[in-house]
């Protein structure tokens, strides 16, 4: 089963289309970055703090409740450890939410005319 090679002009058209798509995508990202004046260094530091606290608070609450359960109702299982893991998991999901909410929206797909699809 021999595959026939594609003609050179078809491969070239594919390369040009891919290159054009990448250039348009990068230009849109650059323009969007210039338009978003509120996203400064302070915004980044604030986001860093929000993400940190959104993981730390559920983790500490989980450990505190777990220690209280361990002291109140002793058992062979460590509730502090289980709720620590649950707190970290919930905190990471919470942090993911805040990062997605503060991030840049998805880029529009590129079509053949050079315009994004509306």
As beta bridge partners, residue 110 has: 116
User: Pseudo-torsion of CA 23, 25, 28, 29, nearest 10°?
Assistant: -110
pLDDT, tens digit, for every residue of 54-66?
Answer: 999 999 999 999 9
pTM (2 d.p.): 0.54
Same domain, 32 and 50: no
Same domain, 87 and 47: yes
The confidence band for 10, taking pLDDT boundaries of 50, 70 and 90, is confident
| Dihedrals phi, psi of 115, to nearest 5 degrees | -115, 150
Comparison of pLDDT for 56 and 104, the residue scoring more = 56
SS3 118: coil
In a domain, 81, yes or no: yes
Which domain range does residue 20 map to?
Answer: 7-36
**Residues 6 or more apart whose Cβ sits within 8 Å of residue 20:** 110, 114
Q: Are 84 and 66 in contact (CB under 8 A)?
A: yes
- Please write down the long-range contacts of 9-18, taking CB distance under 8 Å and 24 or more positions apart: 17/112
pLDDT, tens digit, for every residue of 27-63?
Answer: 988 887 777 666 677 777 777 888 889 999 999 999 9
Same domain, 32 and 52: no
Same domain, 87 and 70: yes
The confidence band for 98, taking pLDDT boundaries of 50, 70 and 90, is confident
Same domain, 42 and 100: yes
Query: Does the structure show a pLDDT above 90 at 104?
Result: no
In a domain, 67, yes or no: yes
């Amino acid at each position: 089963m021999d595959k026939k090679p594609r003609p050179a002009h078809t491969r070239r058209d594919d390369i040009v289309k891919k290159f054009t798509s990448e250039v348009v995508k990068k230009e849109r990202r650059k323009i969007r970055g210039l338009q978003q004046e509120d996203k400064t260094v302070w915004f980044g530091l604030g986001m860093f703090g929000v993400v940190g606290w959104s993981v730390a608070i559920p983790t500490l609450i989980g450990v505190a409740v777990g220690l209280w359960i361990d002291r109140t109702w002793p058992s062979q299982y460590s509730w502090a450890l289980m709720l620590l893991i649950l707190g970290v998991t919930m905190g990471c999901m919470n942090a993911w939410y805040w990062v997605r909410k503060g991030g840049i929206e998805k880029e529009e797909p590129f079509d053949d005319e050079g315009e994004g699809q509306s």
